[in-house]
């Protein structure tokens, strides 16, 4: 009990609260944005894909650039504050936009700044929280995002039904404003040591195979997040609030799975955990690709939660294990792999829906999970080879 109280004491509690507020704001905004573009501006599937693709590219570039500047000594608290302020302004401008082109430009400019908030917050946490409690605190900080996704999507779709998309943007602006106020109390000198090298130098191919597998795994996940609300509401004619309930359920299930993945990693091993994640993804996308029955979609969220919970909960540890002792480089490769997967998923979802339909998007996501599974199997085999060779050498000696 004392250890759990340590997680929320003083600055640690402020950082957790800030993570929750930023996560809640994003969880209330991102899932509905596809429908916002379609219903407010008549955007085509391709235009929806272009919006998310451009924002992904800008987000990756912006976080890389600003992350480099922060390593040079820029105040991380100031970066979090500026990112939250940019998000407030972006939501206000979205609410007042009159065309798709305006939303596209606003999103591109805002994402250049706002995308750095959570990475910088995690960097602050890594500076402030040291010792044996650090891994548990990082897990708790990541869990705050999942907690936010329990309440955020359902609330967002309900509010969109009640007050409309534009008023929802104003509510999101208020939420980001609270995050900005909370950021005022972050530690002012929480700056990481300047990295000796900004390049990732890895002598083994194993981390790169893992990164490629993560690109496919989270590419599939982003295709689902972008396309699912439109598919359910526009194609199947189900309730507009239903996507929020599905996302909230998956997020709720992810939290215990995420913590369990961390607890069992030393017994099961990261390689097997990733195999379980990919297999869960195959089951999940098989169900939603070929069954249009609401109860099955709710049951399928169990497998969705296993996929994301293990990937997010144990994935970073797997990268760090393969790239030890270069923990910073491992974290960068992990984040870039997920972001690249999101970029590819966003681009493909729009193109596939334009050429075929939104149902086909989930079938392509299923193929992505099969590819990820094959890559994880290759990775597990290659990872076991040195152990086998070493054991054989020892036996011969």
CA angle 75, 52, 65 (to 5 degrees): 25
8 Å CB contact between 349 and 49: yes
Burial of 36 (0-12, 13-18, 19+ CB in 10 A): buried
All residues at 6 or more sequence positions from 169 whose CB lies less than 8 Å from its CB, including other chains: 29, 36, 91, 92, 94, 95
Between CA 102 and CA 107 the distance in angstroms is: 8
Neighbours of 186 (CB within 10 A): 22
pLDDT above 70 (res 194): no
> What domains are defined for the chain?
7-188 (1.20.1250.20), 202-386 (1.20.1250.20)
pLDDT of residue 193: 47
* Mean pLDDT (whole number) for 186-191: 61
Compare 116 and 16 and report the one with higher pLDDT.
16
CA angle 212, 358, 52 (to 5 degrees): 55
pLDDT of residue 325: 52
Between CA 356 and CA 196 the distance in angstroms is: 48
Phi then psi for 293, rounded to 5 degrees? -130, 125
What does the pLDDT look like over 199-209, one tens digit per residue? 444 447 888 99
Is 110 strand, coil or helix? helix
What does the pLDDT look like over 211-267, one tens digit per residue? 999 999 999 999 999 899 989 988 898 888 899 889 889 988 988 888 777 677 777
- CA distances to 155, 158, 177, 241 from 162, in Å: 10, 6, 22, 10
């Amino acid at each position: 009990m004392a250890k759990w109280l340590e997680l929320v004491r003083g600055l640690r509690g402020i950082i957790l609260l800030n993570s929750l507020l930023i996560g809640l704001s994003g969880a209330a905004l991102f899932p509905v944005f596809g429908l916002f573009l379609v219903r407010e501006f008549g955007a085509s599937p391709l235009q929806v894909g272009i919006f998310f693709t451009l924002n992904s590219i800008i987000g990756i570039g912006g976080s890389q650039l600003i992350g480099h500047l922060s390593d040079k000594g820029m105040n991380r608290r100031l970066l979090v504050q500026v990112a939250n302020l940019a998000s407030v302004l972006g939501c206000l401008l979205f609410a007042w936009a009159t065309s798709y082109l305006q939303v596209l430009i606003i999103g591109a400019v805002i994402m250049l700044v706002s995308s750095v908030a959570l990475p910088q917050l995690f960097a602050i946490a890594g500076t402030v929280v040291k010792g044996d409690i650090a891994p548990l605190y990082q897990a708790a900080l990541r869990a705050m995002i999942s907690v936010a996704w329990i309440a955020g999507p359902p609330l967002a779709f309900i509010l969109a039904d009640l007050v409309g998309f534009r008023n929802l943007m104003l509510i999101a602006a208020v939420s980001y404003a609270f995050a900005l106020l909370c950021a005022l109390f972050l530690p002012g000198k929480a700056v990481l040591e300047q990295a000796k090298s900004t390049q990732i130098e890895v002598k083994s191919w194993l981390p790169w195979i893992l990164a490629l597998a993560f690109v496919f795994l989270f590419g599939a996940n982003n295709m689902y997040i972008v396309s699912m609300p439109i598919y359910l509401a526009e194609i199947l004619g189900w309730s507009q609030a239903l996507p929020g309930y599905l996302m909230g359920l998956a997020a709720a299930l992810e939290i215990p799975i995420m913590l369990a993945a961390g607890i069992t990693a030393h017994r099961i091993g990261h390689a097997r955990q990733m195999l379980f994640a990919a297999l869960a993804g195959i089951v999940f996308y098989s169900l939603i690709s070929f069954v249009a029955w609401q109860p099955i979609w709710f049951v399928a969220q169990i497998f969705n939660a296993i996929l994301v919970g293990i990937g997010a909960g144990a994935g970073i540890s797997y990268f760090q294990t393969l790239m030890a002792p270069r923990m910073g480089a491992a974290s960068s490769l992990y984040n870039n792999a997920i972001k690249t997967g999101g970029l590819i998923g966003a681009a493909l979802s729009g193109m596939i829906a334009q050429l075929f339909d939104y149902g086909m998007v989930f079938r392509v996501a299923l193929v992505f999970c099969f590819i990820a599974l094959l890559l994880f199997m290759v990775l597990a085999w290659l990872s076991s080879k040195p152990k086998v060779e070493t054991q054989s050498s020892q036996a011969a000696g």
